[in-house]
Homo-oligomer: A and B are copies of this chain.
Amino acid sequence: MIKIFVIGTGNLGGHLCRRFEAGGDLAFAKAGNQKTPVEIQLTGYYNKSGASVPGVSAPRAETLEELPPTDLILIAVPDDKIRDLSEQIPMTDAVVAHTSGNTSLDALSKHKNRGVFYLPQSFSKSRVPDFSKIPICLEWNTATTGDILESLASTMGSQIHHLPSEKRQHLHLAAVFMNNFVNHCYHKSQQILENGAIDPAILDALMEETFAKARSLSPATSQTGPALRNDIKTMNSHLELLPATDRELYRVLSNSIQNEFKK
């Protein structure tokens, strides 16, 4: 049985609370060569807002001073609040872990058993994540911590990766390109269609093919377009069509494509 307490109930924390409450019956973990069931239990959660988490029956704690008995305290708050919050937790033998891609294990240095439980995914309140498809990247400082984090991750059905802080930071940076920047290009594309009074659905097939082709051929092999073929006339006509505020974006992306394929 792993008893878990969650601090922070934003986009990620809220989904984790619901997943942990739902999770007992799915729980299996490796012990030696055997799979043995591992039960998990959400003992409670804490947030600054005082709001209760929809769909969760475990109680909200009023303070971090007196936590219920727990094996793991999982901190899912913005990066710049992690150290502060971890220091508000009274000294404990429980594992204290954060969920940040870009924060070192040292941010939890007050505590004996510390770890990282990072899910490289983009979470939103309105989309229920399928945790079994999301890899979990772990880091820890003691064997006890490693056992608890690995057992918990395996109960979620996820691929498990062991990544030290430095590699995790690279992964987090790569995730920004894969998610935030890709999504922003989607957004700009849609905005151009709207400004031109063109049905946005007209590019649905291209959006899908862009994903499928990069997945099947690799992005480097998939590249096409005016920047790649150094079609300056087309690029200039595109710059004229764009609002002035978007021209630098177009120029820098096109230059970056050209630099890549000159190599």
Contact = CB atoms under 8 A, between A and B. Distances in A.
A222 B120 CA distance: 15
Number of copies: 2
Which of A122, A172, A183, A198 has the most C-beta atoms of chain B within 10 angstroms of its own C-beta? A183
A49 interface: no
B126 A217 contact: yes
B231 A163 contact: no
A229 B78 contact: yes
Interface in A224-255: 224-229, 231, 233-234, 237-238, 241-242, 245-246, 248-250, 252-253
Given A102-B226, A126-B217, A180-B224, 8 more contacts: A80-B233, A127-B213, A137-B202, A170-B196, A171-B198, A175-B189, A180-B226, A180-B228
Interface of A: 11, 78-80, 102, 120-124, 126-127, 129, 133-135, 137, 159, 161, 163, 166-167, 169-190, 192-193, 195-199, 202-211, 213-229, 231, 233-234, 237-238, 241-242, 245-246, 248-250, 252-253, 256-257, 259-260
